[in-house]
Amino acid sequence: MDTALTPFRVEFPESALTDLRDRLARTRWPEAETVDDWSQGVPLTYLRDLAGHWRTTYDWRATEARLNALPQYRTRIDGLRVHFLHVRSPHPQAVPLLLSHGWPGSVVEFLDLIEPLTNPHDPADAFHVVAPSLPGYALSDKPATTGWTVERTAAAWAKLMARLGYERYAAHGVDWGSFLTGALGTLDAPHLLGVHLAMPFAKPPQEQVELDARDLAGLAALKEFQQNEGGYSAVQATRPQTLGYALTDSPVGQLAWIAEKYWAWSDHDGDLEKVIPRDRLLDVVTLAWLAGTGASSARIYWESHNRMALDPVAVPTACSVFPKDARMPRAWCEHRFTDLRRWTDHDRGGHFPALEQPELLVGELRSFFRTLR
């Protein structure tokens, strides 16, 4: 069995960037929305401005250089070549930390976390960071067959950490990464120090539990989300291939599909760039465009949306809940995560904490895992 760890560099050809700029220049735009807000989707004025910046100003090569400054590898697991960052700390007592992204993100979301996690002022807070690209995302292979569920991906991550020689490790995840980190807490519990989830999910327990005001507000927000914001997941869970033709052929289509989520799910006062600079948003969009993952990244919804077991997790668990992100009742989570040691309701932040609140997230990871070393 091929278990080699092959060094990897990101090197998209210049012709791909030239093609991108040409397609952006030839965009066929729709008419403007008939409302003065985002209720019909991304406003035309906003998207034209963002697309213009993407075509004339944004520098993908700078982000490519940031990625290539870090050790990257690919290795074959369960028939699929998985791409991952593997940045070892200079401190020998560092704890291995697995970071898992979600949709519509990628490992570029974690770039600002690498240095403070691997090389902190206090060596007791140091981590060896492993950040894989999900199957079908960015620089990992696109599955050619069905079956790449959250649970199968979690099993692949467990094999990856073992292949890297880490017998005990910590794990953090957001979005789909949160679900697979929870699954890891079940299937690879003997090797996990603990898990940190930025979006914990759990089923309602069979017995009656008391819900507080935040719990009830979180459930109401989830219901409203499903009614008003859930269209993207319904499409990706049922027809990812059909959607993929549009996203793979039109860079503005890819831009709108992703930018809407960063705007809607981040914690800002109407100006997204106050929390996520446009170039960081374009990092995510550009990598998705160049890698052509419009269909493949959506298929995890087809595979796993509303189909996960959400089995009990007995390893030490911490949950960071941000006000613009989904919030399950704490009492429900306590029934799933039976060793819940830390629950933090933050007063700011949204669905992308590594981009919106990197210092806060690093502090949470340090504080929790410091107790488990």
Instruction: Kindly list the catalytic residues.
Output: 175, 301, 351
**DSSP count for the chain of H helices, then E strands:** 15, 9
Q: Is 174 exposed, middle or buried (0-12, 13-18, 19+ CB in 10 A)?
A: buried
Which conformational region is residue 17 in: left (phi greater than 0), alpha (psi within -120 to 50 degrees), or beta?
alpha
What residues contact 346, with CB distance under 8 A and at least 6 apart? 320, 321, 322, 323, 357, 360
Contacts within 8 Å (CB) and 24+ apart, 112-119: 112/354, 112/355, 112/358, 113/354, 113/358, 113/361, 113/362, 114/70, 114/85, 114/87, 116/358, 116/359, 116/362, 117/89, 117/362, 117/365, 118/87, 118/88, 118/89, 118/90, 118/94, 119/89, 119/90, 119/91
Return the number of other C-beta atoms located less than 10 Å from residue 11's C-beta. Answer: 7
Phi and psi at residue 83, in whole multiples of 5°? Answer: -90, 145
Task: Tell whether the torsion through CA atoms of 104, 292, 246 and 271 is positive or negative.
Answer: positive
The secondary structure of residue 120, as a DSSP letter, is -
Distance CA 157, CA 83 (A): 11
Contacts within 8 Å (CB) and 24+ apart, 227-231: 229/264
Distance CA 150, CA 286 (A): 25
Report the C-alpha dihedral over residues 309, 310, 315, 320, rounded to 10 degrees. 160
Which contiguous run of DSSP H or E holds residue 345?
strand 340-345
